[in-house]
Structure 1
Amino acid sequence: MQWYKQAQAAEQVGDWDTAISLVSARAECFSADYSAHDNHLWHMDLLVRAERFDQLTELAVSDVHACRRLNRALYERGMETELRNRAGDGDRGALYHLVRWLHGAGRPQEACRAVELLAPEDEYAHHILAGLRTPTSEAR
């Protein structure tokens, strides 16, 4: 487990190349080996912390964890344009984050327009909008 301690130390000092290299070598998506799967999730998190969105975007084409982590990172950083682009390309997770972000930014009409424009028949997107319109949220 020497590699693990080295990866943690590299992560703590922001040596992303070393940390990513050590962790990705032992990472496997949907592995039966829970350690390999945990390392995969750690790898995705390291890519976000290193702000390697291009790498995550490439991985997100075929890796659900990369896709989810990328969309969450874009949401957390308020990267509206990137979320909108991903949603426009058919990424429903990006759409859901975009809707929440727009509503949280005080732009609920834009959130509604995004759903109507990008996925008018997506029931879950409408469910999110309905949940954001509750009397409790309007009273805040």
Structure 2
Amino acid sequence: MDWFEQARAAEQLRDWDAAITLVSAHAECYSSDHYMHGNHLWHMELLARAERFTELTELALTDVHARRRLNRSLRDQGMEAALRSRAKDRDRDALYVLVRLLCEANRVQEAHQVVQDFGPEDQYAHRIVARFRTPRSGAQ
């Protein structure tokens, strides 16, 4: 059995240590080898599924994929305060994830305030809020 099959088997068994170790040895962010890059994304996914938020947070300092996966994980775990803290620390992706979370929970005014507090000049964040403020017509 090669490393890939071993990693898939470990993942299915939720043996996160083994899966992460195997995949990370064959992973490289922005590699010209698309398999290495794909393995890097898989590595970030495994860290999130293992709830290794400390490792993701450390990697997020320099790795956009880790940052995005961390923010999605924080959202999935309902860790709004952590997203708010990351947005306050100028993590734009965290701002967008937080704003969407608030808007989807019908807390549009709070989302607007978050944008005012953490990204008043961020047009994309304003557009997210505007989409939820605009009455929608037709089927969704």
TM (norm. structure 1) is 0.94
| Residue matched to 2:15 | 15
Q: Where in structure 1 do 4 or more consecutive aligned residues deviate above 3 Å?
A: none
Q: Does structure 2 retain, via aligned residues, the 8 Å contact 1:83–1:98?
A: yes
Give the 5 Å matches for 1:98-137: 98-136=98-136
| Residue matched to 2:57 | 57
CA deviation profile, 1:50-85 (whole Å, cap 9, x unmatched): 000110000000001101111111122221001000
Unpaired runs of at least 5, structure 2: none
Give me the whole-angstrom Cα distance separating, in 1, the residues matched to 2:78 and 2:130. Answer: 22
| Residue matched to 1:38 | 38
Which structure shows the bigger proportion of residues in helix conformation?
1
Give me the whole-angstrom Cα distance separating, in 1, the residues matched to 2:16 and 2:44. Answer: 12
TM (norm. structure 2) is 0.94
How many matched pairs?
138
Q: Helix, strand or coil for the counterpart of 1:5?
A: helix
1:25 aligned onto 2:28: no
Instruction: Give aligned-pair identity as a percent.
Output: 62
| Residue matched to 1:70 | 70
Unpaired runs of at least 5, structure 1: none
Q: CA deviation at 1:108?
A: 1.2
Q: CA deviation at 1:35?
A: 0.7
CA deviation profile, 1:10-38 (whole Å, cap 9, x unmatched): 00011000000000000000000111001
What RMSD in Å do the two structures reach over aligned CA positions? 1.4
Q: Does structure 2 retain, via aligned residues, the 8 Å contact 1:57–1:67?
A: yes
Give me the whole-angstrom Cα distance separating, in 1, the residues matched to 2:41 and 2:133. Answer: 33
Q: Does structure 2 retain, via aligned residues, the 8 Å contact 1:24–1:40?
A: yes
Give me the whole-angstrom Cα distance separating, in 1, the residues matched to 2:113 and 2:135. Answer: 21
Give me the whole-angstrom Cα distance separating, in 1, the residues matched to 2:58 and 2:42. Answer: 17
